[in-house]
Amino acid sequence: MAPKTLPPAAKQAKILEYFKESMGVFTLKELEKLLPSVASINQMQVKDYLQSLQDEYLIRVEKIGSGNWYWSFSSDAKKTKENIINNLKAEESKLQASIMEMERQVEEEMVKREDDEEMLEGAGMDRKVLLQTHDILLREMEGLDKELACYSDNDPAEILRKVEETKALKDSAIRWTDNIESLESFIVTRLSSDRAQVAQMMQLACGDEYILQSGLYSSASLAWDSSHWADAPLTFQTLNAPSGDGFGLFKRGANETVIRS
C-alpha cells in the first residue's frame, strides 16, 4: 500500500511546528536543506511554503545583509494575534459609528417625511400622485430638450458664434493672402526674377490655390469691400538692423510683412 500523502495545509503546519520547536533563525539555503525531510516536500517547494506562511503572518522574515532570515517565535505569534484583534476592534468601532450615523439620518428623514405627509394631507394632496406627476414631467422635459436640440442651428447665440468664426477665418485668409502676395512681389522686384518663373514656383508651393496669370485663388474669390487693404497701395522699405542684417518691410494699408533679405 502506497504511503499516504499529506495535504498542503498539514505540510504547512509541520513547517510552522518545526520553526517554533527549534526556536532558530534560518536562511533560505538552510531551510531548503532542512524542510524537505520535515514536511515531505521537495526543495523547489520550500520557497512557496515559506511565502504562504509569511502571507498569513505565521512566520517573520527580515532582510539582513544580502539574504533573508526566517523565524517564528511564540511571543511573535502572540503579538501578531493581538495586533490583528486590535485592528479588528478598531474596524468594528468605525463600523458601529457609521451604523449609528446612518440610523440617525434615517430617523431624521422619517420625521421629515411624517411632517411632509401631514402637510400634504392638509392640502388635500397625495405623495404617491405627486411622485408620479414628477416622473411624467421629467420625461416631458427630456423630450422638450431633445426637440430643442433639433433647432440648435437656428439658435441666435449659435448663429452669432458661426458669424464670428467665419469672420475670423476670412480675416486670417486675407492676412495670409496678403503675406504671400507680398512675398511674390518681393521675389520679382528685389531679385529681378522672371515673373512667369516666379508664378510657376508659387503654383508649385501653393498647389491648386494658385492660378497662373491670376494669382492666389482665395484673393480672386473673396469679396472685398472698398475700404479693404486690397485697395491700398503696396510699398516696400529697406531696413538695416544693428547687426548689419537687412530686412524688407512690405506695407499695404495697416498690414505689414517683414522679410529678411
The model's pLDDT over 187-218, given as tens digits with 9 standing for 90+, comes to 877 767 677 777 778 778 777 777 766 666 65
Q: How far apart are the first and last CA of the chain?
A: 103
Please identify which residue in the block is written with the cell numbers 447665440: 157
Instruction: Quote the DSSP letter at residue 223.
Output: P
Where do the H-state alpha helices sit in the chain? 8-22, 28-39, 46-55, 74-122, 127-150, 156-190, 195-206, 217-221
Please report the pLDDT score of residue 216 as a whole number: 67
Residue segments in the chain with a per-residue pLDDT below the cut of 70: 1-4, 122-123, 191, 193, 212-261
Please report the pLDDT score of residue 99 as a whole number: 94
- d(C-alpha 192, C-alpha 186), whole Å: 9
Please report the pLDDT score of residue 156 as a whole number: 82
Q: Are 235 and 178 in contact (CB under 8 A)?
A: no
Please report the pLDDT score of residue 169 as a whole number: 93
Which pTM was predicted?
0.33
Angle between helix 28-39 and 46-55 (nearest 10): 100
- d(C-alpha 98, C-alpha 94), whole Å: 6
Please report the pLDDT score of residue 213 as a whole number: 62
Q: Which three cell numbers stand for residue 80?
A: 501578531
Sheet holding 255-260, edge to edge: 234-240, 246-252, 255-260
